[in-house]
Copies of this chain bind each other. A is one copy, B any other.
């Protein structure tokens, strides 16, 4: 069970709602993923415009926790304003703080993210910041009181996977709040690797929406995250440079 603040979730997969080519495909993908948490960009969803089609109308939103994000914000002030709009909608009390510092890499701004979290925590939000894999930033945010940290594996939509598993491992070891690896996942192997390091969850979007078969990829990601988690819990073997026979031949009942 994934616990964030006072909520618990069966699934450790958080699924974004952007860039699907077709609402029906998206709906099937959401079902196959067995996700409990759907993320969306407050600024992109037409949640305030009754005339526009909206993916959230197609699904039973009672079945999901909605996690709005502040995509489009380039500083703390904008992020706070978007978060307040999301809360005012009554749809959600969690917010993913996303303050982009560069339009080319879409990497997050650590300083503005920290500031936005400070404000939003003081206003009673459940706060999940999207951050780089800076270990001390993660630690400082946890100390500040955020409810989870969401370090990126690699840039949003890049599919590059875990550029720095060592840093993610440090964060997982040092931070007491849930660690959700976010952004850059391309393959089920990436998701499994994040979970096998001990992450509490994985957030992904493009890896599913951009796959040739998004529905099948959604299922792949669900299984990969379960596999990685079970592997973490099961306690993997150590790595070693010398080989060890799985079929030791010393002392065996020789047949020749």
A contact set with B: CB distance below 8 Å: 16, 18-19, 40-44, 46, 48-49, 52, 69, 71-72, 78, 81-82, 85, 101-102, 104-111, 114, 132-137, 139-140, 154-161, 163-164, 166-167, 170, 174, 186-189, 191-193, 195-196, 205-207, 209-214, 216-217, 219-224, 226-231, 233-249, 252-256
Which residues of chain B are within 8 angstroms of A154 by Cβ–Cβ distance?
A: 166
Which residues of chain B are within 8 angstroms of A71 by Cβ–Cβ distance?
A: 245, 247, 249
> Does the CB pair A212–B239 fall under 8 Å?
no
How many Å from the CB of A113 to the closest CB on chain B? Answer: 9
Complex Cα gap A108–B19 (Å): 36
Q: Which of B52, B206, B247 contacts A246 (CB 8 A)?
A: B206
> Does the CB pair B231–A217 fall under 8 Å?
yes
Which residues of chain B are within 8 angstroms of A133 by Cβ–Cβ distance?
A: 164
> Does the CB pair A246–B205 fall under 8 Å?
yes
> Does the CB pair A158–B241 fall under 8 Å?
yes
Which residues of chain B are within 8 angstroms of A245 by Cβ–Cβ distance?
A: 18, 71, 106, 156-157
> Does the CB pair A244–B187 fall under 8 Å?
no
> Does the CB pair B237–A159 fall under 8 Å?
yes
Q: Which of B52, B163, B170 contacts A253 (CB 8 A)?
A: B52
> Does the CB pair A237–B186 fall under 8 Å?
yes
Complex Cα gap A192–B167 (Å): 22
> Does the CB pair B228–A188 fall under 8 Å?
yes
Given contacts A101-B139, A253-B44, contact A220 B227 (CB under 8 A): yes
